[in-house]
Copies of this chain bind each other. A is one copy, B any other.
Amino acid sequence: MQCLDKRTEIMTVAMELLAENGFHGVPMSMIAAKANVAVGTIYLYFAGKDELITELFQEVEKEIVATLREGFPTEGPMRERFLYLTGKILRFLVDNPLKFRYIEQFMNSPYGISMRRDRLLGKTVPNGIFMALFEEAIADHVVKDIPIIALFSLTIAPLIFLVRDHILGFVTLDEALIRQTTEACWDAIKR
């Protein structure tokens, strides 16, 4: 009981600190202090800092995938399903700025780099939902005839940048703008 609690507490605290201060700006001792555990305790649950960081990422990733799947219409017009998905992810990131910051940190660190490399080799695609959607869209000839990975970048990238702008206070991602931008993304790939 306490075990789970402690592990969870460590992860929560670590996410917060790492997202805000960067991986190199947070010593293990800082995490331990804020989580009210001893430094050694962290090593009972995680083999090391690397594992903690990696596991933290996997958890967020899992959460995002779950969020995307939840209530996703497997039928209906492609455009609507696309807008549903992109809107969903946008809202999730806007509502979870810490997690967004964390993902960015991770992706732009050696961890993320090597992860991408591993996935390239293993063909493991975590963004299965999007990919499945795109595959279907390609088969239906409703989107442009370009590599699926390009479709992905064309639509996901803007969303990520927009969230960053939103968090930094450059724009306010309200429902109206979410609608407009996700539609723009669709315009980018639709045939």
Interface positions of A (Cβ within 8 A of B) = 21-25, 104-105, 108-110, 116-117, 120, 144, 146-147, 149-150, 153-158, 160-162, 165, 168-171, 177, 180-181, 184-185, 187-190
Contacts of A157 in B (CB 8 A): 157-158, 160-162
Q: Tell whether, in the assembled complex, residue A156 and residue B146 are in contact, meaning their CB atoms are under 8 Å apart.
A: no
Q: Tell whether, in the assembled complex, residue A110 and residue B158 are in contact, meaning their CB atoms are under 8 Å apart.
A: no
22 residue pairs bridging A and B, Cβ less than 8 Å apart: A22-B110, A25-B110, A104-B108, A108-B108, A117-B168, A146-B177, A146-B180, A147-B171, A147-B177, A149-B170, A150-B162, A150-B177, A150-B181, A154-B158, A154-B162, A154-B188, A157-B157, A157-B158, A157-B161, A158-B188, A184-B189, A185-B188
Contacts of A117 in B (CB 8 A): 168
